[in-house]
Amino acid sequence: MNDTDVLIIGGGISGLSTASWLVQQGIEVELWEADARTGGKIRSRQESGYLTEQAAGILMNFRPQVDHLINQLHLNDSKVLRSKTLKRHIIHQGKLTEMPMTIPGMMASPLWSRETKRHLATEWLIPRGREPQESVSAFIERRFGREILEKAIDPFIAGTLASDPDQADAAAVLPRLTALESRYGSITAGILIHKIFKRRRVNNAEAFSFKNGMQSLTDALSESPGIKIRRNHKALAIEPTKNGWRATAATFSGEHTIRCKHLVLCTPADISAQLMAAIDKPISDLLESIEYAPLAIIHYGFDPQQIKHPLNGSGFLIPGGEKYAFNGNLWMSTLFKQRAPDGKVLMTSYLGGARRPEQAHWSDQRLHQALQQNLKQLLGISGEPEYQRIDRHSQGLPLYHGAYQQRMKQLTNKIESWRGLHLAANYLGGVSVRERIFQGLQTADKISLQLCHQQQVQPLNPPDGLLQI
């Protein structure tokens, strides 16, 4: 007799999303979280009137499945949308410069040389790539030229994914662009074909947060009826049984062991590797090979009179060639309302990542000194911030580097050889909150199908309508 249908180890966004989708299908779920709180790195803090995010601050969504879940969680009324008209900037020759987001805008922008504009105009003539595994740098330079890579893609990869475009797998981190080339032979041609044939999504693409921050999402998931959450349960060991799996956790009151039909590991790769080491060394080794980038996130609150540059956009990213001490800066109080006290502004900066991993381990004093000097140069800031906070992550984001696709295919194939064992974590299928929710649904549907012959449940498939590009 099993104690539960499904045991999920790890109470971050991946584990909580998977659990929520499962209980919506009538499947019994228990979730273990080693910490005293669920939500993983997602955490919103209210201090001195400022609302800051420990990790993800924005949900960029184009998937109707995510809309479905937010509606199920009754969070629609608390959504705070980012304005679609906000400018986006990069640092160019030491100054903030608006970054155009459309091909016509790029063609008219002084950011690009005539050679780059010719490259953009003739991109549709460039043949498909022949390399089965191509880095972001190689892919973008081949299709658009070196200047687009250095000024537009490099800061995006380093600033939002904490990654290195020279090492990042293009198909893994730019899946929609590589798919356009694969399907149509050209990114420009693919975009035009979709517009001509009006291939639109059933929902509108949105960027948003919530009134009380991103933690509203993980809190709502944690409160989903039917999920049995056990906090302060640190998984010690897992082992296969005749009818499923047995897992043991360390708790304040001693060890706790249960049996389940399906086991889902939603922990960071190194923790999952430790759990798998005793039963499948090759899987453990593949998990151990996954690297993470360390991050330091610094929040500053200012009086707007201290800042000369108008905060009239979402913020800015920094190309590696500009040689500043940080990767990007978001103007949170411009992006979303009620992120700062009345008459104040909040900005968040990101340091470290694959570009400069050592920065995440600098002292607080050194971080503040380097960042404030750079912000003074770029934004004309005078004086000290009235509010400051540093959040550090020794394992900030997984890096989709090297032969990523090949290693993940090997990992997936080996996991599937174990009946009832599943992986759902941000080192598989994308680091964004959107992709964590979507992978949770995929995992839940897979488990549901496997349980169908034992339990009368049907896989939950919200209307897809998603243009797969």
Could you report how far apart the first and last alpha carbons of the chain are, in Å? 44
CB neighbour list of residue 341: distance below 8 Å, 6 or more residues apart: 48, 49, 50, 301
Residue 278, pLDDT above cutoff 50: yes
Give the model's pLDDT for residue 463: 44
Last residue of a domain, one of 196, 231, 251: 196
Residue 458, pLDDT above cutoff 90: no
Last residue of a domain, one of 131, 165, 196: 196
- Judgement on whether residues 128 and 188 belong to the same structural domain of the protein: yes
Tell me the three state secondary structure of residue 397.
Answer: strand
Mean pLDDT of 200-211: 79
Instruction: Report yes or no on 183 lying in a domain.
Output: yes
- Judgement on whether residues 174 and 248 belong to the same structural domain of the protein: no
- Judgement on whether residues 182 and 229 belong to the same structural domain of the protein: no
- Judgement on whether residues 158 and 217 belong to the same structural domain of the protein: no
CATH number at residue 109: 1.10.3110.10
Mean pLDDT of 205-214: 95
CATH number at residue 274: 3.50.50.60
Give the model's pLDDT for residue 119: 87
- Judgement on whether residues 104 and 171 belong to the same structural domain of the protein: yes
Q: What is the phi-psi region of residue 213: left when phi exceeds 0, alpha when psi lies from -120 to 50, beta otherwise?
A: left
Reduced to 3 DSSP states, what percent helix, strand and coil does the chain have, rounded to the nearest 5? 40, 25, 35
**Structure tokens, 430:** 């994308």
Give the model's pLDDT for residue 201: 53
DSSP string, 359-370: GGGS-HHHHHHH
**Tokens 């922990």, located at residue:** 267
**Structure tokens, 455:** 């339990």
DSSP string, 102-126: SHHHHHH-TTS-HHHHHHHHTGGGS
Instruction: Report yes or no on 108 lying in a domain.
Output: yes
Distance of alpha carbon 341 from the chain centroid:
28
Residue 203, pLDDT above cutoff 50: yes
- Judgement on whether residues 181 and 232 belong to the same structural domain of the protein: no
Q: What average pLDDT is seen over the chain?
A: 92
Give the model's pLDDT for residue 453: 60
- Judgement on whether residues 281 and 413 belong to the same structural domain of the protein: yes
| Residue percentage of the chain with pLDDT more than 90 | 81
**How many alpha carbons fall within 13 Å on the CB side of residue 435?**
13
Give the whole-angstrom CA distance, residue 149 versus residue 127.
18
Give the model's pLDDT for residue 466: 33
Question: With contact defined as beta carbons under 8 Å apart, do 136 and 174 qualify?
Answer: yes
DSSP state of 169: B
Instruction: Report yes or no on 63 lying in a domain.
Output: no
C-alpha angle 72-76-79 in degrees, rounded to nearest 5? 135
Instruction: Report yes or no on 269 lying in a domain.
Output: yes
Instruction: Report yes or no on 382 lying in a domain.
Output: no
Instruction: Report yes or no on 318 lying in a domain.
Output: no
**Tokens 């709502």, located at residue:** 220
| Residue percentage of the chain with pLDDT more than 70 | 94
Give the model's pLDDT for residue 351: 97
DSSP string, 184-229: HS-HHHHHHHHHHTT---SS--EEEEETT-THHHHHHHHT-TTEEE
Give the whole-angstrom CA distance, residue 218 versus residue 36.
14
Give the model's pLDDT for residue 469: 25
**Tokens 């919530």, located at residue:** 210
Instruction: Report yes or no on 230 lying in a domain.
Output: yes
- Judgement on whether residues 105 and 192 belong to the same structural domain of the protein: yes
Give the model's pLDDT for residue 252: 95
Question: With contact defined as beta carbons under 8 Å apart, do 38 and 229 qualify?
Answer: yes
Mean pLDDT of 4-31: 97
Question: With contact defined as beta carbons under 8 Å apart, do 396 and 294 qualify?
Answer: yes
Pairing of the two strands 4-9 and 254-265: parallel
Instruction: Report yes or no on 204 lying in a domain.
Output: no
pLDDT digits (tens, 9 = 90+) for 131-145: 878 999 999 999 999
Whole-prediction pTM value?
0.92
Mean pLDDT of 422-445: 97
Question: With contact defined as beta carbons under 8 Å apart, do 89 and 159 qualify?
Answer: no
Rg for the chain (alpha carbons), in Å?
A: 23
- Judgement on whether residues 446 and 421 belong to the same structural domain of the protein: yes
pLDDT digits (tens, 9 = 90+) for 61-103: 999 999 999 999 999 999 999 988 888 999 999 999 998 877 7
- Judgement on whether residues 143 and 263 belong to the same structural domain of the protein: no
Mean pLDDT of 334-342: 95
- Judgement on whether residues 280 and 419 belong to the same structural domain of the protein: yes
Structural domain harbouring 23? 4-41+213-290+401-451
Question: With contact defined as beta carbons under 8 Å apart, do 70 and 20 qualify?
Answer: no
Burial 324-351 (b: 16+ CB within 10 A, else e): bbbbbbbbbbbbbeebbeeebbbbbbbb
- Judgement on whether residues 180 and 235 belong to the same structural domain of the protein: no
- Split at pLDDT 50, 70, 90, the class of 205 is confident
Give the model's pLDDT for residue 467: 30
Mean pLDDT of 31-40: 97
Into how many domains does the chain fold?
Answer: 2
Give the model's pLDDT for residue 121: 87
- Split at pLDDT 50, 70, 90, the class of 355 is very high
Identity of the residue numbered 196: I
Residue 418, pLDDT above cutoff 90: yes
